[in-house]
Structure 1
Amino acid sequence: MYLFNSLRNCYTNGRIPLSLSYFRSDLTLRALCSQHVESEQKPPRKKTIPIPKITLISDSMVSITTLEEAKKLSKRRDLKLVKIVDMDVKTQRPTYKLMTGTEYHEEELKQREARKKQKNNSFIKGEKLLFLKDSINDHDLEIHCKKILKWIAKSLQVNVVINGTSSNDKLEKIYSFIEQQIGNEGRLLQKTLKGTDLKFHIIPPKKEKKDEL
C-alpha cells in the first residue's frame, strides 16, 4: 500500500522513480537494437537487369528464349542461327530461325531472286557458292582465293559464306585477307553479318567501254 501511494505521488508531482526510468530506457534501447539487427539481416535487394528475349523458330515450332541459349542450341544441333526479322511489331522481339546448310542456301537463292539484278552486273554468266569456316588456316585460304580468281576470270559471281563459331574478329580477318588477295581483279559487294555468318559476293571488275571510232 505504501509503494502504491508513493508511485501515485510521484506521477502526480511529475517525477518518475529511478527504477521505472531505467526500465523505460532499457526498453527503448532494446527496441533500437532490435531494429538495427533486422536492418542488418535484410540487405537491400539488388536490381536485376532483364535479359532480352527472342522468338526462335525451329522445326516449325515457335519458342521464346534468349539469344545466348539459341546460340548454344544451334551449336549442339550443328545448325545455322539466322535472324529473319529485326523486330516484330506485335511481340517487340527479334525473330531467329535454325536452318540446315541446305535450307540456308535455299533462303539465299530466294532472296537473290527477289532482288533486282543490277544493270552493271549483266555481264555475269553464272554463280558459284563458297563455304568457309573461321578456323581455316592461311594456306587453305590462299588456295580458295586462287580458285575465286579463276571463277571471276570466267565472268562468274562468287557468293562467299564464312561460318563463325567464336568471335567476329576472325571473320573480319578472313574477309580482309580475301580482299587483299583479290585486289583489283574483283569487287567485294554486299557484306552482311547474319547470325554467326559473314556473307558477301565477289564479282568481276567493271569492263570499260571502248569508244567507237
Structure 2
Amino acid sequence: MSSACLRWALSHASRGVCGGTLNSWRTASGAGLLSYNGRCVSASLSWGWSPLSTTVDETEAGQVPKKKQDPRARATIGSIGRKIHQRHLQVINENGENMGTMHRADVLRLMDENGLKLVPLNENKDPPVYRLMTGKQIHEEQLKLREKQKAKTGPVQVKELTFSSDIGNHDLLTKLRQVQSWLDKKHHVRITLRTGRVEHTQPLDTTLEQMVQQIEGLVGFVSKPKVIRDGRAAMCILRPPSVKELKEMNKCAAAPATDTSSEPTTSPTAPPTDLTPDSQH
C-alpha cells in the first residue's frame, strides 16, 4: 500500500471516530484498513476513556485520599522476650526515666536482675526506643488499649430501667443486680425513678442516688441523678468505671490497710503487783 493510500485511510478513520456516524465508522473500518484494523480498534477503545472524558474527571474528583497510618502506632503492646535484633537501644526504665543508649547485653542483664520485660515503643527510630516494664504495667497498658478499641468499635448500648419510689427492698435488690450485670457487659443503664402511691418528703433525685449507692462495685455517671417531669420523676445514666477510676479505688482501698499495718502494736501489760505488808505474810 502506498503512502498516499495510507494517509487517506488514516484520515478517513479519524473522521469516522471523531465525527462520523455508526455507518461511516463501519465503512471506514471495512474499506482499505485491513492491515491496520487492530490499531484502529485499540484507538476506538482508548477514545471512550480519553482524559477529556467527564467520567474520568468525576471519578478522580470524587476520590477521597486515604489517611496514612503512622508506622510507629502500635495496636497492641507486649514483650518481645529476649529476641533483640538491634545492637544498641534507647532504653526507658519502668519509672519512665530515660536511661540513654545501651548495648543489648546490658539491657538483658537489667532484665534478668530486676525481673523486667522489654517492650518496643518506636522501632523505626535510630536507635530504636524500648521500655523496661513489669508484667503488671504491661497488663494495665493492655487494658487501656482494649478500652480505647472498644470505644471506637461502635455506639454504646443503653439499657433502660424504670421503677417507683415505693418499691420493696427485695425487688430493689433484684433490679440493682440486673443493673450490675448490664454494667459488667459494658452497657450504659438509664434508670428512671417515678413517684409512687406513697408520698415521700425526700426529693426523688436524692432517693435515686441512695438507691444507686447500694449497687455492689464501683459505677460511673454519664448523667447524675436529676429531677425531671416537673418533679414527678428522677433520672440518671450509669456507665462502667474506667481503668483510671478502678486504679484510684484500689489505691484508696490499699491506703487504710497500709496505715493500719504501720502503726506500732502494743501488747497489754500486766498491772504491777501490789506488794503490801499483808500480802507478804
- Report the TM-score, using the length of structure 1 for normalisation: 0.37
Larger relative contact order, structure 1 or 2 (CA cutoff 8 Å, min sep 6): 1
Q: TM-score, normalised by structure 2?
A: 0.28
